């Protein structure tokens, strides 16, 4: 029986994970799939209980599972802590320990949500892009790193480093994904300044030779940030390093209407996949039943597709989400000032998606 490890984490993590679990159970039932759930701590919750953002026991548990469903980490309570011991370190560690180098962040605009975007409807209509973010390398993990006192002054450094194999394997993920989509890859870099990016351009170009049926363009990261606002529907697969991918995926999410809509899958060479909403822990609304569970629910669809080989169940969830939105149901984040819509809570949105799912 497939084992799923729940790591709800901090802030709104537990609320959205609870709704995602309900939807996963219902979809799995519909597909005659029996699942076994386990739960553990990550982030601030783990710091409070164990003094560390992720225990070795939780890592071992994750490695023994088929998939991990994660909520969010971090919050003001732990904000003053040094980088090395913060809640975020738990997330970075589990990505690294599970070898999850490929982070897939699809950004699509649901027709019912075109008006929720801050961009004009004609710009937003038709957005369907996939950010393929390298997740276990680059400046997030490079050494040397840290703060030191040099000649009486505080100095800090981080290192952006990639080797050619790390670049080639994420490039292959992007080209393979493009083959199942519109066959267009945009590689995002800063090669006019960074040697690391020059190596990316070379290696991505080399990998492209194996994919003559997929088009490739290279785009500077600053232009890309601009182009995503100007003509987001023109992009298919965007492949980039860890830091640029972090930034651009928040932008990609927001132009589709809300950060509360974007799911993600983190995959690697090992068998375990990790699924999490792209949004953070939103401490300001935590525990108030105001969070949008749809990013977590859509992450569960990715889990069914990539870890449980149940693409129909995944599609049923996506349709149920689209249906709930088409029925006019909105959490707070999906309503712009001046729009005449009443907000429902996190649990109620879970109810609406479940109702739609059970009808199908």
Active site residues: 140, 190, 222, 246, 250
Report the nearest approach of ligand IPM to the CB of residue 240 (Å).
13
Q: Does 246 bind ligand IPM (CB under 6 A)?
A: yes
Report the nearest approach of Mg ion to the CB of residue 259 (Å).
9
Report the nearest approach of ligand IPM to the CB of residue 348 (Å).
27
279 exposed, middle or buried (CB, 10 Å; 0-12, 13-18, 19+)?
A: buried
| Shorter beta-carbon distance to Mg ion: residue 235 or 244 | 244
CA angle at residue 285 from 282 to 291, to 5 degrees? 80
If you search the block for the tokens 């180098």, which residue do you land on?
Answer: 101
| Residues between 266 and 295 that touch ligand IPM (CB under 6 A) | 278
| Shorter beta-carbon distance to Mg ion: residue 139 or 343 | 139
Terminal-to-terminal C-alpha distance of the chain: 25
| Shorter beta-carbon distance to ligand IPM: residue 44 or 323 | 44
| Shorter beta-carbon distance to Mg ion: residue 257 or 323 | 257
Q: Does 97 bind ligand IPM (CB under 6 A)?
A: no
Q: Which residue blocks in the chain are alpha helix, DSSP H?
A: 13-30, 44-50, 56-63, 87-97, 121-124, 164-179, 195-208, 221-230, 242-255, 294-306, 311-326, 346-359
Q: Does 300 bind ligand IPM (CB under 6 A)?
A: no
- Looking from the CA of 9 toward its CB, the CA atoms found within 13 Å total 33
Q: Does 134 bind ligand IPM (CB under 6 A)?
A: no
Pull the structure tokens for residue 162: 């990639």
| Shorter beta-carbon distance to ligand IPM: residue 236 or 246 | 246
Pull the structure tokens for residue 195: 């040697």
Tell me which residue has its CB nearest to ligand IPM: 88
Beta-strand relationship, 263-267 and 273-277: antiparallel
Q: Does 10 bind ligand IPM (CB under 6 A)?
A: no
Quick one: which of 277, 279, 275, 278 has its CA closest to 308? 275
Cβ–Cβ under 8 Å, residues 296 and 17: yes
| Shorter beta-carbon distance to ligand IPM: residue 25 or 251 | 251
Tell me which residue has its CB nearest to Mg ion: 246
If you search the block for the tokens 């809570």, which residue do you land on?
Answer: 345
The Cα–Cα gap between 27 and 299 comes to: 13
Collapsing DSSP to helix, strand or coil, 76 comes out as: helix
| Shorter beta-carbon distance to ligand IPM: residue 74 or 268 | 74
Which residues contribute to the site for Mg ion (CB under 5 A)?
246
Identify the bridge partners of residue 276 per DSSP, sorted by sequence position: 264
Pull the structure tokens for residue 159: 């290192």
Quick one: which of 16, 15, 20, 54 has its CA closest to 37? 20
How many other C-beta atoms can be found within 10 angstroms of the C-beta atom of residue 52? 15
Partner whose binding site includes residue 91, from ligand IPM, Mg ion, none (CB under 5 to 8 Å by kind): ligand IPM
Partner whose binding site includes residue 108, from Mg ion, ligand IPM, none (CB under 5 to 8 Å by kind): none
CA 197 to chain centre: 23
Report the nearest approach of ligand IPM to the CB of residue 54 (Å).
12
| Residues between 32 and 91 that touch ligand IPM (CB under 6 A) | 73-74, 88, 91
Q: Dihedrals φ, ψ of 130, to 5°?
A: -130, 115
Q: Does 24 bind ligand IPM (CB under 6 A)?
A: no
The binding site for ligand IPM (CB under 6 A) comprises 73-74, 88, 91-92, 246, 278
């Amino acid at each position: 029986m497939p084992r799923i490890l729940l790591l709800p984490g901090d802030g709104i993590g537990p609320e959205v994970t609870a709704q995602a679990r309900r939807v996963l159970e219902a979809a799995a039932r519909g597909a005659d799939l029996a699942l076994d759930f386990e739960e553990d701590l990550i982030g601030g919750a783990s710091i409070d209980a164990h003094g560390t953002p992720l225990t070795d026991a939780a890592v071992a548990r994750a490695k023994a599972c088929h998939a991990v469903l994660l909520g969010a980490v971090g919050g003001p309570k732990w904000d003053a802590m040094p980088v090395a011991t913060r809640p975020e370190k738990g997330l970075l560690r589990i990505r690294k320990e599970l070898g999850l180098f490929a982070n897939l962040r699809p950004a699509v605009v649901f027709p019912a949500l075109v008006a929720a975007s801050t961009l004009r409807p004609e710009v937003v209509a038709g957005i369907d892009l996939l950010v393929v973010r390298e997740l276990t390398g680059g400046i997030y993990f490079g050494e040397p790193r840290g703060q030191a006192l040099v000649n009486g002054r505080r100095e800090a450094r981080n290192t952006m480093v990639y080797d050619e194999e790390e670049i080639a394997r994420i490039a292959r993920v992007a080209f393979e994904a493009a083959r199942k989509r519109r066959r267009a890859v945009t590689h995002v870099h800063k090669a006019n300044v960074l040697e690391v990016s020059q190596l990316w351009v070379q290696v991505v170009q080399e990998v492209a030779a194996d994919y003559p049926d997929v088009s490739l363009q290279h785009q500077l990261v600053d232009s890309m940030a601009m182009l995503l606002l100007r003509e987001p529907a023109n992009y298919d697969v965007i492949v980039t390093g860890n830091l640029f991918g972090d930034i651009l995926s928040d932008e990609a999410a927001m132009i589709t209407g809300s950060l509360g809509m974007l799911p993600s899958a983190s995959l690697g060479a090992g068998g375990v996949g990790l699924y999490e909403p792209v949004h953070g822990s939103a401490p300001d609304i935590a525990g108030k039943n105001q969070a949008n569970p749809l990013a977590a629910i859509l992450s569960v669809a990715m889990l069914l597709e990539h870890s449980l080989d149940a693409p129909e169940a995944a599609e049923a969830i996506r349709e149920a989400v689209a249906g709930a939105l088409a029925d006019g149901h909105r959490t707070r984040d999906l309503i712009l000032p001046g729009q005449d819509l009443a907000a429902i809570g996190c649990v109620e949105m879970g109810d609406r998606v479940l109702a739609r799912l059970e009808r199908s």
